[in-house]
Amino acid sequence: MAARATWLSLAVAGAMLPSLVQAETYFEVSGKVAAEVRYFTEEAAYSDQSDGGNLSALAEPQFLWEWSDGDDRITFVPFARVDQWDDERTHADIRELNWLHVGEEYELRVGLGKVFWGVTEFQHLVDTINQTDGVEDIDGEDKLGQPMISVSSVRDWGIVDLFVLPGFRERTFASEEGRPGFPIRVDTDKARYQSDDEDRHIDLAARWSNSFDVYDVGVHVFRGTNRDPQLQTELRSGQPVLVPYYTLMTQVGVDLQATIDSWLWKFESRYRNVDPDDFTAAQFGFEYTLYGLFDSATDLGLLTEYGWDERGTDATDVGQNDLYLGGRITLNDEADSQLLAGISRDLDYDSTSVLVEASRRFGSNWKVSLDGRFFSADDQRDTAYAIRKDDHIQLTGEYYF
């Protein structure tokens, strides 16, 4: 599928080359390279995993061509990572390779792209278009490029986005040596699909969004292959493995944010029909910001969210009955120094997860980040139980060009 998606985008880019040659163009190269070290504070829970530190490096350049006074643009964002222990985390992808044309009342995009939906901080229920790059991090915020043809139209009554998604990207999973990881290997080579078209199924999506006074609202519908696979246990050569099974689904969702003085009220909800089941889930809460803390330039944001899934303990996703508390400190200095810390508590299984994310820029090109992930889980039915020994601290140095 990755090769097929790449050729689609290359064909689009190639088709635009005559226009690029004839028109006055603007070309820009930017991006980043980074080195990362993770240190796991506990011994691995599974025998194939390594203890201690793990090194990796990545490159993510961005190439941009514009012509027709900016009405036409080709964006190319490749990505590659090399990891010390995890062969699956050593991987490459094309995050974006698409042509954008801006008309009088519409925008047309063709190729591989990235689309984000959602407003909540700790879980993004309605973010559906792109597949998760599961080997990058466990927060689900790193995404694979999605083949798409999309049209966006801005009207007085809102923005309408229509998507045709001709191809599916399978989720990536850590290898047996990778951390955080599963006690049983995920065999991605044997993935199965409900659709006879498998990864060639054409998905469709539409979203309407608008702003009313202090409210920003979005409503969407999606019909296609579920990005969240069911992991089914099978025996291969006498050994158990987890095989991803991708169902078809229909999803209807809404995201809402209200900005009232120092308050940000946030709500996301989705209804999914995955034959033969259907269910509803929601994530909601607020962020309250204390500006100019102690007569300084520092702002402190206080975050509270709650995640609910009507399936309860039968849910395969996190956040089925979880409370999230956190704080965000922004120094508003030239170095863009900031800190986010949060804790989540599963009210069904009494498990706890803690995250810390701190970053600061040095000069105009360098950024250093220090992150931490810590887990506590005792109930084997809890999805967090698999990573209960994967507490780690991560130091990342990034160079932007």
Phi and psi, residue 7, nearest 5°? -65, -35
The average pLDDT across 110-133 equals: 97
160 compared with 318, residue with greater pLDDT = 160
pLDDT for 15 equals 53
Instruction: Determine contact, residues 43/52, Cβ cutoff 8 Å.
Output: no
- Confidence class for position 376, pLDDT limits 50, 70, 90: very high
Q: What is the pLDDT of residues 173-193, one digit of tens each?
A: 999 999 998 889 999 999 999
What CATH number has the domain bearing residue 153? Answer: 2.40.160.10
**Residue 80: pLDDT over 80:** yes
pLDDT for 116 equals 97
Alpha-carbon distance of 386 to 401, in angstroms, equals 38
User: Is the backbone of residue 2 left (phi > 0), alpha (psi -120 to 50) or beta?
Assistant: alpha
pLDDT for 162 equals 98
**Residue 18: pLDDT over 70:** no
pLDDT for 64 equals 98
The average pLDDT across 134-138 equals: 93
The 10 Å Cβ neighbour count of residue 16 is: 19
How many structural domains comprise the chain? 1
pLDDT for 82 equals 98
pLDDT for 144 equals 97
pLDDT for 24 equals 83
The average pLDDT across 60-70 equals: 96
Q: What is the pLDDT of residues 324-355, one digit of tens each?
A: 999 999 999 999 999 999 999 999 999 999 99
Instruction: Determine contact, residues 44/57, Cβ cutoff 8 Å.
Output: no
pLDDT for 2 equals 47
Cα atoms in the Cβ-side hemisphere of radius 13 Å centred on 157: 0
Alpha-carbon distance of 290 to 32, in angstroms, equals 33
pLDDT for 55 equals 97
Instruction: List the domain range (segments joined by +) for residue 94.
Output: 2-400
- Confidence class for position 9, pLDDT limits 50, 70, 90: low
DSSP 273-321: EETTEEEEEEEEEEEEEE-SGGGSS-EEEEEEEEEEETTGGG-SSS-SE
